Amino acid sequence: MDLTIYNPDNAPEESQPLLTSVKENYGFVPNLYGELAESPAALEGYIKLNEILGKTSFNPVEQQLAVLAVSIENECHYCAAAHSTVLKKKLNVDEAIVDAVRNDNEVPDEKLDALVTYIQKTVQTRGFVEDHDLKSFLDAGYTKQHVLEVNLVISLKTISNYTNHLAETPVDEAFESEKLEFTTV
């Protein structure tokens, strides 16, 4: 589907202030946000869910690994690049951890591996996780609160991943160094 990548000047009127805020926060308007601007409600919902992600009980590294794990499971080229960039360049996470998620390998940190594994299982089973998968997640030090917040993460990324699938969103220059190609799209 061909979606226009809007900016604050040419977006639908209700989306203009939202894109202005995005530009102030990021220093540019990422292509995904520009596409979501076609629907002011979708753009606002995505922005609000992103803000709420920051209020979860996951720390910033866990938040970004969680959204990366969903994006990898959903084979989203755009979000995989964006979140890998944030993890490596903004949060200075060890490349071995990020690359393990990107390559579907065991994460070299037991607790983070439990997070990524639980998210993968939740996406793969559409929420019908096995008891032993839930137990492994909880045994790693996560809580029932985290279980529900994983659902929030998946909801957030479903909006962006599916939009990127429909639009074949071009990866922004800022994320280009982490671009991934998926073979089964």
Half-sphere exposure of residue 83: CA atoms within 13 angstroms, side-chain side: 28
- Rounded to two decimals, what is the model's pTM? 0.95
- Write out the residue range of the structural domain in which residue 66 sits: 60-178
Give the Å distances, CA to CA, from 4 to 7, 39, 75, 168. Answer: 9, 11, 22, 11
- For residue range 127-179, list pLDDT tens digits in order: 999 999 999 999 999 999 999 999 999 999 999 999 999 999 999 999 999 99
The CATH number for 171's domain is 1.20.1290.10
Instruction: Quote the Cα angle for 147-152-153, to 5°.
Output: 95
Residue with the bigger pLDDT between 31 and 183: it is 31
Q: Is residue 8 part of a domain?
A: no
Q: Is residue 95 part of a domain?
A: yes
Whether residues 44 and 114 share a domain: the answer is no
Contacts of 125 (CB under 8 A, 6+ apart): none
In the structure, what pLDDT confidence band is assigned to residue 183 with cuts at 50, 70 and 90? confident
Query: DSSP state, 88?
Result: I
Whether residues 89 and 108 share a domain: the answer is yes
- For residue range 112-141, list pLDDT tens digits in order: 999 999 999 999 999 999 999 999 999 999
Q: Is residue 44 part of a domain?
A: yes
Q: How far apart are CA 155 and CA 6, in angstroms?
A: 23
| Gap between the terminal Cα atoms of the chain | 15
Q: Is 64 exposed, middle or buried (0-12, 13-18, 19+ CB in 10 A)?
A: buried
